[in-house]
């Protein structure tokens, strides 16, 4: 659709009527908003016909391109049957099928799915369930949570309480419950001759020491497995997850894996957790790619042990949490179409080959004098740009757009997280654009 004859430009109208997320609105006095008319594959087209390659998958949600014919068809079919029904007291085919399939695909033992509408609500659900689990077990003093330095788990007040990104957190600190932070296993923290596994081991030692001291008051540890996204694509060795799992089991603390960003193939496996040689976490939080970037949906998968602790005649032992759109039928149907694509196109194997080819394509670029710490995990490529520009991320965003690329650096970390349908040619264009940005940074 177009916006009918309003007054003024798109820019002015959107600035007045729409309060845009994660934005100082005054910035848009000088930086134009980009009005998108259409999407197709990995490309977005504005009303003037300019095309932008969606190198960040629209904030990490898109997997198989915009206006994907198969996901479109699934949603259209579902529209003819049922758009939504409340999930308290009612159920429907897409939510049952999705819960069973997620349970079968996730690390073993996560057979119960509770739904929310976005990532932050999934984190809230996992935190509340973990606390309530211990409450029901007669241990109401276990109220604390532990997260990693640089963690990001969303921006509602509960999720922000376990988030350690100053930009999002500091202003609201007086509103937040202070939870413990332990060192990040970020491989770039290596000292001397340490490799990534050794850094992970050292960070795990610190977690273990913390739990030894505080386990009686700790409900759960929450981690972003393999890649801490929002802090700047900090990557770690799966050994950390093995040690964290063992430490939580030993000390009677629940473990929450926040795979909101890493899930659905981003790190090379369907879920990042699979790369650790260890039993499942107690909670797996999923969102972002779950509907291929179509509709808001999140899920928290958990175990029989957690589910059973709530199962009783007493209503207050139940998990009395709800969101209006819990288990929305259209969103579940989109998620089922996404899982069909993974299966039918053997996406994970294709991505392994793509990831390897694209890494090779970046070999020369990684040696650019202004590029540091090139790293990759599956379909996430990240590197630091050395620059004196104080406004690098804004400048880079504008430079990218001028070259037909949607790039949104995190500080000086530039990353590519393209949709999985990206071609080698498109990826080559992306690398060329990054080359020009590095030359001028």
Ligand X SMILES: *Cc1c(COP(=O)(O)O)cnc(C)c1O
Q: Site residues (CB under 6 A) for ligand X?
A: 118-120, 123, 152-154, 224, 229, 258, 260-261, 287-288
In the complex, the smallest distance separating the C-beta of residue 154 from ligand X, rounded to whole angstroms, is 4
CB of 254 vs ligand X, minimal distance in Å: 17
Q: State the minimum distance, in angstroms, from the CB of residue 4 to ligand X.
A: 31
Both tokens of 157, joined, read 């007040």
Which residues lie closer than 8 Å to 81 by C-beta, 6 or more apart?
Answer: 329
Smallest distance, ligand X to C-beta of residue 153, A: 5
Q: Minimum Å distance from CB 258 to ligand X?
A: 5
Of the pair 117, 351, the CB lying nearest ligand X is at 117
CB of 309 to ligand X, least distance (A): 25
Q: Write out the E strands in 248-387.
A: 254-258, 283-286, 298-302, 371-377, 380-385
Q: Which is nearer to ligand X, 165 or 362 (CB)?
A: 165
For ligand X, give the closer residue by CB, 119 or 281.
119
Q: What are phi and psi of 289, to 5 degrees?
A: -70, -5
Compare residues 116 and 355 and give the one whose CB is closer to ligand X: 116
Closest separation in Å from C-beta 177 to ligand X: 17
The per-residue b/e assignment along 135-171, b for 16 or more CB within 10 angstroms, e otherwise, is: bbeeeeebebbbbbbbbbbbbeebbbbbbbbeebbee
Closer Cβ to ligand X, 60 or 420, answer by number: 60
Nearer to ligand X, 129 or 260 (CB): 260
Under 8 Å between Cβ of 95 and 329:
yes
What is the secondary structure of 225-264 as a DSSP string?
SSEE-TTT-EE--THHHHHHHHHHHHHT-EEEEE-TTTTT
Query: Quick one: CA torsion of 82, 83, 85, 90, rounded to 10 degrees?
Result: 40
If the CB atoms of residues 82 and 157 are measured against ligand X, the closer one turns out to be 157
Q: How far is CA 196 from the centre of its chain?
A: 22
């Amino acid at each position: 659709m177009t916006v009918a004859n309003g007054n003024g430009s798109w820019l002015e109208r959107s600035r007045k009527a729409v309060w845009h997320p994660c934005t100082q609105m005054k910035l848009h006095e000088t930086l134009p908003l980009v009005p998108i008319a259409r999407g197709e594959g990995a490309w977005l087209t504005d009303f003037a016909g300019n095309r932008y390659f969606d190198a960040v998958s629209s904030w990490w949600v898109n997997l198989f391109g915009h206006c994907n014919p198969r996901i479109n068809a699934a949603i259209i079919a579902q529209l003819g049957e049922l758009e939504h029904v409340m999930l308290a007291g009612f159920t429907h085919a897409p939510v049952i099928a999705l819960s069973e399939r997620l349970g079968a695909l996730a690390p073993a033992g996560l057979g119960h799915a509770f739904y929310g509408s976005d990532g932050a609500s999934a984190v809230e659900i996992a935190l509340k369930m973990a606390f309530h689990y211990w409450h029901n077990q007669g241990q109401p003093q276990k109220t604390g949570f532990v997260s990693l330095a640089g963690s990001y788990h969303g921006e509602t007040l509960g999720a922000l309480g376990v988030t350690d990104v100053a930009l999002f957190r500091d202003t609201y600190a007086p509103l937040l419950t202070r939870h413990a932070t332990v060192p990040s296993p970020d491989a770039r923290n290596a000292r001397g001759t340490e490799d990534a596994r050794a850094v992970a081991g050292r960070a795990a030692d610190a977690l273990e020491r913390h739990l030894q001291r505080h386990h009686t008051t700790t409900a759960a540890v929450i981690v972003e497995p393999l890649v801490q996204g929002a802090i700047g694509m900090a990557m770690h060795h799966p050994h950390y997850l093995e040690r964290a799992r063992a430490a939580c089991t030993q000390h009677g603390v629940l473990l929450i894996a926040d795979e909101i960003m890493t899930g659905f193939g981003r790190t090379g496996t369907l879920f990042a957790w699979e790369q650790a040689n260890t039993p499942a976490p107690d909670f797996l939080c999923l969102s972002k790619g779950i509907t291929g970037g179509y509709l808001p949906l999140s899920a928290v998968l958990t175990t029989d042990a957690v589910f059973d602790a709530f199962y009783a005649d007493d209503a207050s032992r139940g998990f009395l949490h709800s969101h209006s759109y819990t288990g929305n039928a259209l969103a579940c149907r989109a998620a089922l179409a996404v899982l069909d694509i993974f299966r039918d196109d053997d996406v994970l194997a294709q991505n392994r080959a793509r990831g390897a080819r694209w890494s090779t394509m970046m070999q020369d670029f990684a040696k650019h004098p202004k590029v540091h710490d090139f790293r990759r995990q599956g379909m996430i490529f990240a590197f630091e740009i050395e620059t004196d520009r104080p406004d690098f991320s804004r400048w880079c965003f504008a430079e990218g757009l001028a070259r037909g690329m949607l790039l949104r650096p995190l500080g000086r970390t530039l990353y590519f997280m393209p949709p999985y349908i990206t071609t080698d040619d498109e990826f080559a264009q992306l690398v060329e654009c990054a080359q020009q940005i590095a030359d001028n940074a």
